Amino acid sequence: MYHKPSGHAGVIGAPRRRAVHKEFGVRYSYATHLECSLTGERYDITRLQGLSAAKKPLLARYDLEALRRELPREAIEARAAGLWRWHELLPVPASEHIVSLGEVETPLIPLPHSARPRGFRPAIVKDEGRLPTGSFKARGLCLAVSMAHLHGVRRVAIPTNGNAGAAMAAYAAQADMEAVCFCPDDTPEVNLSEIALQGAAVYRVNGLINDCARLVEAGKAQYGWFDVSTLKEPYRIEGKKTMGLELAIQGKWRLPDVVFYPTGGGTGLIGMWKAWQELVALGWIAPPLPRLVAVQSTGCAPIVRAFDAGASAATPWPNAHTIASGIRVPAALGDFLILRALRDSGGFALAVTDEAIERARTEVGTRDGLLLSPEGAATYAAYQEAAASGRIGADDEVVLFNCASGLKYPMPAVSARLDVNKPLPDDVLSGSVRSRPGSGSGT
Ligand SMILES: Cc1ncc(COP(=O)(O)O)c(C=O)c1O
């Protein structure tokens, strides 16, 4: 049985939303149709859809002209913060179809103490770890599950590096749907456990995410699964789009200069670029738009390789490996869309080593008290590298995406012990990473 959650933003913002409706006479959603991202062919949004006939992602389109006429941006500002304040730019046709666990607006946290080249402004982290299930995957899966539920889907399946499966399991539980997750063997333990505890079937697979995707493909017909893989249905990207919408409203309709995004399947990067195009069409923001930087690991960098080669699509990365499991995606279905967004925005792609990721995680944790995920730490490492090499400027306002709570990942073991019956040692601070030589110094 689907039940409407008590705490979602639609409820929190309901009285104001009704007032806005009355005042401006707007529709709940302005979505009109779906469009093939390659051919532009139109698809019916009232039906359950997967990929286009060309086997490419479908993108939701909106009647932006009508929305521009009917809703001023001040009406959005007047609503309670959170994902659902953007409902006109989301596909869910009415609030009663929302499956929600409380999708908050995530904060922007500056890093004034972490190392950066002299003269550079401190980077700002958009901390997505505050969302339900501790990651930004909640944004996409909340939309995908809401829409699938609306279309009568009973069973969902997903190949996942962990966080997407956790979010899918949570929203599927909320909507009383069956859920199955296929994870690479070395997916973080916490992801496997949270998926299980949220009622989904979960399997470790002796392969990578693309191998897991093949299992979903193989079982679809037999088990009647709806495939919620990255970009294989049209709505995860709409949820992820809200990251770009939020950045706009948090900056009072002015966007940062550069956005570093840890890129696996690239849904968030493509989604943010789409969000900003829509906001420009609405007249709510004006160019210049941020330069987008796709951050990958040197152990799995298909987008970086394709970008640097001037290619319009990426080739699969063999033997992919990195501690940043969320960006270990050897082949992305939306590669051409990621590459297009990078180029159109004047951005670039950068790979960092796992060692740099570990160092970055320690640096930001110890100096600014923000525990990043390895993927988030990768963006900090890339920011430092881009700053040092002159690819970004000292005056640039930089936002880094930390897409999951650092608490979801392995952390250093603590070995220091004290005997309560003995006096405190003189060097009691030696139990702190901060005090160890080489743990980083602001430059
Ligand atoms: C923490 C984290 N960061 C980044 C990513 C990559 O996101 P995207 O698929 O939007 O590129 C993932 C995906 O699993 C993730 O879990």
Give counts: helices (H), strands (E), the chain.
14, 13
The dihedral region occupied by 152, where left means phi > 0, alpha psi between -120 and 50, and beta the remainder, is: left
Q: DSSP 3-state assignment of 179?
A: strand
**pLDDT in single tens digits along all 443 residues of the chain:** 333 433 333 333 333 333 334 444 569 999 999 999 999 999 999 999 999 999 999 999 999 999 999 999 999 999 999 999 999 999 999 999 999 999 999 999 999 999 999 999 999 999 999 999 999 999 999 999 999 999 999 999 999 999 999 999 999 999 999 999 999 999 999 999 999 999 999 999 999 999 999 999 999 999 999 999 999 999 999 999 999 999 999 999 999 999 999 999 999 999 999 999 999 999 999 999 999 999 999 999 999 999 999 999 999 999 999 999 999 999 999 999 999 999 999 999 999 999 999 999 999 999 999 999 999 999 999 999 999 999 999 999 999 999 999 999 999 898 989 999 999 988 887 766 665 544 433 44
Q: Count CB atoms within 10 A of the CB of residue 24.
A: 14
Quote the pLDDT of residue 406: 97
Longest dimension (CA), the chain: 75
Distance 129 CA to ligand 1 centre (A): 12
Q: Which of 163, 233, 274, 338 most suits a substitution to test ligand 1, by most atoms within 8 Å of the C-beta?
A: 163
Question: Does residue 125's CB lie within 6 angstroms of at least one atom of ligand 1?
Answer: no
29, 60 contact by CB (below 8 A): no
The secondary structure element, H or E, covering residue 69 is: helix 64-70
- Asked whether 230 lines ligand 1 (CB < 6 A), one says yes
Q: Residue 281 C-alpha to ligand 1 middle, in angstroms?
A: 28
Any ligand 1 atom below 6 A from CB of 159: no
Q: Is 373 in the pocket of ligand 1 (CB under 6 A)?
A: yes
pLDDT at 426: 86
Per-residue DSSP letter, 36: E
Query: Phi/psi class of residue 342: alpha, beta or left (left: φ > 0; alpha: ψ in -120 to 50)?
Result: alpha
Return the pLDDT at 193: 97
Ligand 1 mean position, distance from CA 421 (Å): 47
pLDDT at 1: 33
Residue 369 — φ and ψ, nearest 5°? 70, 20
Would you say the CB of residue 100 lies under 6 angstroms from ligand 1?
A: no
Counting ligand 1 atoms within 8 A of each CB, the residue from 136, 229, 333 with the most, and so the one to mutate, is: 136
Tokens of 110: 């500056």
